Structure 1
Amino acid sequence: MELILKIAVGVFIGSLAAIFAWEGLHVVAARYAVMEANEALKQSIRDQRKRDAAAAQQRADEEAAQRARDAEMERAAAAAGVERERARAAKDAAWKKFYQPSPACQADRSTMECANAYMRAKTQFEGTYRE
């Protein structure tokens, strides 16, 4: 009977050792899976940060390009405004040379004759003036 008891205790201890080994392998496998998941998550975060940085850089580049276009449009508008002002000043100077009211109209511009003379001169000037 002692031999059966020794065999039974040996089988029991062997079974416990096998169970502990099996559980140990599961723990190691679980730790490995957790480490792989962590590494994959870290890589995903790095990739997302790279995409975010690239998107931010693209937005910054687009904003800088838009600011440059806006500045160019402002310069062009200012240049066009200066050019229009020069053209208007040249036309005003040409009009002053072209139209010289009579002495009577210089004294009193409110008469119908002076208004008609002014309108005829203005119509003739506008028809012949070229910038």
Structure 2
Amino acid sequence: MMTKKGEGMYRRKEVQSEWGFIGDVLKIALGVFIGSMAAVFTYEGVLVWRAEQASRQVMKEFKALEEKQKLAQQQRLQQEKEQKQRQHRQQEEREHQRQQQMLAARKKEQAWSNFFQPSYTCRVDPSRGDCADMHIRARTAFEAQYRE
């Protein structure tokens, strides 16, 4: 038996295992098991990461909503404050107008008192017809003059 040159160098050494074919199947099964366990752990890790990301996003949105509600509350309080201030100013303005009207009415009554002095007879008996006529004519003349 003659061997070719260099054939011994590349010759594969066959190793016989004690387990044979069953051992090879068990090795493959163990490799598949370990690989599937790695895949399951990786998948679970991805799920946990996604859940954390979703939780962070929900928290961001919740905080943004809280800030939006807080801002809306502040705006509403500011509007209420401005409304109260407007109402207070309007009330003060109405009070000022009322006081001005009362002052004007007092001035007019004072001017009327200075303008018309009924006679002694009319002061004693104001129900007389000529006294009423005199009062009406004087009042008409006063009103025309007071407006000017």
TM-score, scaled relative to structure 1: 0.95
Letter in 1 for 2:47: A
Alignment partners' CA distance in 2, 1:116 and 1:20 = 120
Paired position in structure 2 for 1:92: 109
Amino acid corresponding to residue 128 of structure 2 in structure 1: T
Kindly provide the amino acid, as one letter, of the partner of residue 82 in structure 2: A
Which among 77, 88, 103 is matched to residue 60 of structure 1? 77
Instruction: State the structure with more CA Rg.
Output: 2
CA RMSD after TM alignment: 1.4
Q: Which runs of 5+ in 2 are unaligned?
A: 1-17
Of 46, 53, 57, the match for 1:40: 57
Distance 1:114 1:33 in 2: 103
CA distance in 1, matches of 2:19, 2:38: 28
Number of aligned pairs?
131
Cα distance in 2 for residues equivalent to 1:105 and 1:13: 133
Amino acid at match of 2:55: N
Displaced runs of 4+ in structure 1, greater than 2 A? none
SS of 2:127 mapped into structure 1? coil
**2:118 is the counterpart of 1:127:** no
Aligned-partner residue type, residue 7 of structure 1: D
**Alignment partner, residue 17 of structure 1:** 34
Unmatched tracts of structure 1, length 5 or more:
none
Counterpart of 1:78, as a letter, is E
| Greater RCO (CA < 8 Å, at least 6 residues apart) | 1
Task: From the two aligned structures, give the one with the greater helix fraction.
Answer: 1
- After superposition, the C-alpha distances for 1:61-120 in whole angstroms (9 at most, x for unaligned) are 111111111111111111111111111100000001111111111111112211111111
Query: Partners of 2:35 and 2:128 in 1: how far apart?
Result: 125
**Identity fraction in percent:** 24
Residues 1:76 and 2:131 aligned together: no
Find the residue that maps to 1:109 and give its secondary structure.
coil
SS of residue paired to 1:124: helix
TM-score (norm 2): 0.84
